[in-house]
Amino acid sequence: MSDAFLTGQDASARPAVRTPDTTARRGLLAGRQGRRVREALLAYLFLLPAFLVVGLFGLFPLIFAAFMSTHRGLNRIPGTFDGLGNYILAIGDLTYFLGFWGVVVLVFLALQAVGRSATAARDKGSPFWRWAAPGIAFGVMIAAWLGWLIRLLPLLLDIPNQMRGARNTPENFRRLLGEALATPATTQLLWLTLAALIVGVVSAWIVMRNRHHRIHYANYAGSFTLATILIGVAALIGWLTWAELQSNITESLASGGGLDIGSQMILISAGFLLLWLSWRLWQSASRRDSMVSVMLRLGGAAMLIIGAWVLVAEAPRIIAQGDAKWWNALLATFYYSLGTIPPQLIVALVLAVLLFQEIRGRSFFRVIYFLPYIAPFVGTAAVFKIIFSSRPTAPINSILSFFGLPSQAWINEPAGILNLLTPGLQLPAWSAGPSLALIVIMIYGVWSFFGFNTVIFLAGLGNIPKEMYEAAAIDGAGRWPQFRYITLPLLSPTLYFLTLYSVIGTFKAFNHIYVLRTGAALGTTDTASVVIFQTFQRDTRYGYASALAILLLLVIILLTIVNNRVAAERVHYG
């Protein structure tokens, strides 16, 4: 600012000396730009170590796991290519369903990205479609680079096998690495990456050069890049699904069996479509007047019932095709999530509201409540294993016998809770609810996390302005109305955060479940993470474990989206 002012003064004072002035100005501009470039370079240098670690051990694993999940082999890395075989093994024909709808969703997202920024560009009156060339070129560049990475992976993974024994020298490694990098299959993609980069830079430069007006000028290449990558991924998934379908059809025709993929596909899709439609109807019903609203709600309910019925009717066939262990794991994870989150949130909310008063010993209680969360879980889980052990003299059983109740096997009990509560009738395993052993793990989960939730709730309560309560008290609102109409709505962001955090947390949960699992519980406590760990560590089925992990990630993403959708209507950011 002051520099520009100074130079302007200079120019007006000595208009005769023109050349040094312009060079000075240019030099100033270069200096300023140079400073920005230097700052950016320094920033990249600062980020380098962290991103080396995060990139190699946090982001790259996602691509690597996707790659491994298409390979098969016991204790072999990477094993032989098997397409979507691992997914078929885990969830049966649902794979085709997921593949098909995955492609549809990705293409939709790509179109949406382009459409959105096209609208934004039109509103601002800036050119949009000329950004397509550089955007697509950059997208191709990233896709080609990822392809190069994936082609290079098996070659890199083979290097250690060629370096056994005496040949394990740095020189040999460098030679093998050079060979892997120079393979035609990889260099092709590397050249494609480079070519796309050049095309992108040149076309971006042309677009920037030809700009007519500087006002309202924005860069829309990003949406095209995103769309290109999404369509690339969609094409890859589509190709894998199609190839798997083809081989499946040939196989079943050769063995003379019929095909039910088509009918299943249509039925499941119709089921989900009906559920979605009923949800939309229900939503739009709330905006209409009473008669139409009732009709819409009835229609929605009917669709819900039909959709759910179709899905329920179709479920046994789908489940029978997949891996029973994996379905049980998902069911156990679902039970664990459902049995842990509501109790821990309610307990924490009650305790937080009670603590958030003018009482003595607030910090004392807070410290105590937080202790289970902070204590090493192996230690506390070991105690729970003893407290809830099946011996008749164990603490919980001795309390039961004090009240004259029969002792239970607790942590070793594989039977479902409903079967234990109603000894008369024997329900089949899938409808008997979580096993008693899983209930013990839920109790442990609530015990160890309620303090964490209490602390977060307390922080959320602290953010609610005191004036609200004073105003409500003046209006004569009692404690319950104050809680219902002030605390709860203003606490909803915290509640939403904790719900999302706990849902993701319970679906990721591994450590304490792994410590608390017993052989006698017959795998009824094995949640998704535990099954993945066992598949990997005990069975050394790397490809299958990766496929299961990717499926778990899909479940988590889906839950996050659902949670966001539900919360968007209810969370009140006051």
Partner 1 sequence: MADSIARPATTTTRRPRGRRPIFRFAGTYLILLIGAAVAIVPFLYTISVSLMNLTEANGGAWLPSSPQWRNYINAWNEANFSLYFWNSIRIAAITVTGEIVFCTLAAYAFARMEFWGKNLLFSLLLATLMLPEAIIWVPNFITVSWLGRVGPIPWINNWPALTIPFMASAFNIFLLRQFFMQVPNDLWDSAQIDGAGHLRYLLRIVIPLSKAAIMTLVLFGFIGTWNALAWPILVTTTPAWRPITYGFFAFIDEAGSQFNLQMAGSVITMTPVIILYFFTQKTFIEGIATTGLKG
Q: Which of 313, 382, 418, 558 binds partner 1 (CB under 8 A)?
A: 382
Which of residues 9, 18, 27, 44 is near partner 1 by CB under 8 A?
44
Q: Is 565 exposed, middle or buried (0-12, 13-18, 19+ CB in 10 A)?
A: exposed
3-class DSSP state for residue 81? strand
Residues in 264-303 at the binding interface with partner 1, rule: CB under 8 A: none
- Under the binding rule (CB under 8 A), the answer on residue 131 touching partner 1 is no
Residue closer to partner 1 (CB basis): 20 or 465: 465
104 binds partner 1 (CB under 8 A): no
Q: Per CB under 8 A, does 137 bind partner 1?
A: no
| Residue at 574: amino acid letter | G
Is 365 a binding residue for partner 1 by CB under 8 A? The answer is yes
Rounded to whole angstroms, the Cα distance separating 523 from 525 reads 5
Is 352 an interacting residue with respect to partner 1 (CB under 8 A)? no
**Using the rule CB under 8 A, is 118 a contact of partner 1?**
no
Sign of CA dihedral 220, 221, 227, 229: negative
Q: Does 385 bind partner 1 (CB under 8 A)?
A: yes
Q: Which residues between 63 and 82 bind partner 1 (CB under 8 A)?
A: 64-65, 68, 77
Residue 117 vs 529, nearer CB to partner 1: 529
Torsion of CA 497, 499, 500, 501, to 10 degrees: 80
From 119-127, 258-266, 480-488, 511-519, give the range in contact with partner 1 by CB under 8 A: 511-519
Q: How far is the CB of 267 from partner 1 (least distance, A)?
A: 30
**Least distance (Å) between residue 460 CB and partner 1:** 7
Could you tell me the smallest distance in angstroms from the CB atom of residue 157 to partner 1?
7
In the set 156, 202, 320, 566, which binds partner 1 (CB under 8 A)?
A: 156
Asked whether position 58 contacts partner 1 by CB under 8 A, the answer is yes
* Options 24, 152, 157, 488; binder of partner 1; rule CB under 8 A: 157
d(CA 539, CA 556): 25
Is there binding between residue 565 and partner 1 (CB under 8 A)? no
Q: Give the helix/strand (H/E) hosting 396.
A: helix 395-402
Instruction: Give the footprint of partner 1 on residues 407-466 (CB under 8 A).
Output: 447, 450-452, 455-456, 458-460, 463
* Cα three-residue angle 97-230-242, rounded to 5 degrees: 35
Residue among 75 and 290 whose Cβ is closer to partner 1: 75
Q: Going residue by residue from 2 to 41, which x/- string records binding to partner 1, judged by CB under 8 A?
A: ----------------------------------x--xx-
Q: Name the 3-class secondary structure at 372.
A: helix
- Position 217 contacts partner 1 (CB under 8 A): no
The encoded tokens of residue 267 equal: 């039925």
Q: Does 384 bind partner 1 (CB under 8 A)?
A: yes
Examine residue 51 and tell whether it contacts partner 1 (CB under 8 A): yes
**CB environment 367-401: b (16+ within 10 A), e (fewer):** eebeebbeeebeebbeebbebbbbeeebebbeebe
Q: Does residue 494 bind partner 1 (CB under 8 A)?
A: yes
Stretch that binds partner 1, among 13-21, 84-92, 338-346, 388-396 (CB under 8 A): 388-396
With CB under 8 A as the contact rule, the residue among 253, 259, 302, 374 that binds partner 1 is 374
Query: How many whole angstroms separate alpha carbon 472 and alpha carbon 90?
Result: 56
C-alpha 527 chain-centroid distance: 17
325 interacts with partner 1 by CB under 8 A: no
Structure tokens at 344: 């821990």
Q: What is the DSSP secondary-structure string of 219-260?
A: --HHHHHHHHHHHHHHHHHHHHHHHHHHHHHHHHHHTT----
Residue numbers 158-177 binding partner 1 by CB under 8 A: 159-160, 163, 168, 170, 173
Nearby residues of 265 by Cβ (< 8 Å), 6 or more positions away: 93, 96, 97, 100
Phi and psi of 435, rounded to 5°? -70, 160
Q: Is 47 in the site for partner 1 (CB under 8 A)?
A: yes
Q: 320 or 382: whose CB is closer to partner 1?
A: 382
CA distance 143 to 192: 10
Nearer of residues 196 and 351 to partner 1, judged by Cβ: 351
Q: Of the two residues 53 and 312, which places its CB atom closer to partner 1 in the complex? A: 53
| Residue with tokens 């699904």, as numbered in its chain | 241
Establish if 120 lies at the interface with partner 1 (CB under 8 A).
no
Other beta carbons within 10 angstroms of residue 297's beta carbon come to: 17
Residue (142 or 277) nearer to partner 1, CB: 142
